[in-house]
């Protein structure tokens, strides 16, 4: 049943949310993918619709059911390039873009038109080549950074652009240090930071996030709590910013 929230603070606001993982094809039956479940992005779409927004959910690979809500239109995408093309179209009418999708940083340079076989071609000894193939990768565009650059070119403040950061931290830098750098690099308005790893965040129902702001305002933390509550905390920040 479509949820409605007493707050209708996003009434008439067009919110585009990307969710789930991209799949980068190797051949007609194989792809490179990732562990994103799509739960956080879908939760944001549902929470925004409940608060009155008109939502477009751009969904990659998700392992949950897609929402059925009168104010959510869903478009499916497979690869990062598909996602970029959809967003280029949608960004013209969007008030807010939230990039919750897990976009592959790289894709195979070549997509085989037929299934790649275990033995391929002829080996040095004249027999079948049993060696393992090498997959060459190329960089995907940084869709989020491109959206920010395009807004800059248009000279406007719209759409309001929100990124997510999947960070594990490393020996030298904490999750938040890496995220601050990422926010500066991407130039988006908000960066929602969470820790990732197998069984941590990915696929779980709960999440803990820190929302960093480009304008230097104090970070907002939410959780550990449900991805629905995290969504509302994020939308609280966005709704406040849109009113300014």
d(C-alpha 25, C-alpha 185), whole Å: 28
Provide the minimum distance between the beta carbon of 137 and ligand CTP in the complex, in angstroms, as a whole number.
12
Stretch of 32-40, 97-105, 106-114, 167-175 lying at the interface with Ca ion (CB under 5 A): 97-105
181 near Ca ion (CB under 5 A):
no
Binding site for ligand CTP (CB under 6 A): 80, 99, 101, 103, 105, 140, 142-144, 163-166, 182
Residue 9 or 95 with smaller CB distance to ligand CTP: 95
Residue 80 or 234 with smaller CB distance to Ca ion: 80
118 annotated among ligand-binding-site residues? no
Q: Which residue is nearest to Ca ion (CB)?
A: 105
Q: Which of 68, 93, 105, 181 binds Ca ion (CB under 5 A)?
A: 105
105 annotated among ligand-binding-site residues? yes
* Beta-carbon-side half-sphere exposure of residue 142 (alpha carbons within 13 Å): 13
165 binds, among Ca ion, ligand CTP, none (CB under 5 to 8 A by kind): ligand CTP
23 binds, among Ca ion, ligand CTP, none (CB under 5 to 8 A by kind): none
108 binds, among Ca ion, ligand CTP, none (CB under 5 to 8 A by kind): none
67 annotated among ligand-binding-site residues? no
**Does the active-site annotation cover 34?**
yes
Preceding peptide of 159 cis, ω within 30°:
yes
107 binds, among ligand CTP, Ca ion, none (CB under 5 to 8 A by kind): none
142 annotated among ligand-binding-site residues? yes
Which residues are annotated as catalytic?
34
Residues annotated within the binding site for CTP are 105, 115, 141-144, 164, 182, 186
* Residues contributing to the site for Ca ion (CB under 5 A): 105
């Amino acid at each position: 049943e479509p949820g409605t929230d007493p707050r209708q603070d996003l009434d008439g606001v067009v919110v585009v949310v990307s969710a789930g993982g991209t799949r980068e094809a190797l051949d007609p039956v194989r792809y490179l993918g990732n562990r994103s479940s799509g739960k956080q992005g879908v939760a944001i779409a549902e929470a925004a619709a409940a608060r009155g927004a008109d939502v477009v959910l751009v969904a990659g690979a998700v392992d949950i059911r897609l929402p059925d809500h009168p104010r959510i239109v869903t478009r499916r995408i497979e690869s990062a390039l598909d996602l970029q093309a959809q967003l280029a179209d949608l960004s013209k009418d969007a008030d807010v873009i939230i990039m919750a999708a897990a976009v592959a940083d790289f894709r195979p340079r070549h997509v085989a038109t037929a299934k790649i076989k275990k033995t391929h071609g002829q080996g040095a000894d004249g027999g079948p080549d049993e060696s393992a193939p090498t997959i060459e990768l190329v960089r995907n565009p940084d869709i989020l950074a491109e959206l920010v650059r395009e807004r800059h070119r248009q000279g406007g403040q719209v759409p309001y652009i929100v990124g997510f950061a999947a960070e594990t931290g490393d020996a030298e830098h904490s999750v938040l240090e890496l995220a601050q750098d990422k926010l500066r690099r991407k130039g988006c308005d908000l960066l929602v930071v969470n820790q990732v790893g197998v069984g941590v965040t990915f696929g779980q129902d709960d999440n803990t996030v820190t929302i960093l702001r480009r304008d230097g305002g104090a970070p907002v933390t939410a959780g550990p709590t449900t991805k629905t509550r995290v969504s509302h905390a994020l939308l609280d920040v966005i709704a406040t910013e849109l009113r300014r």
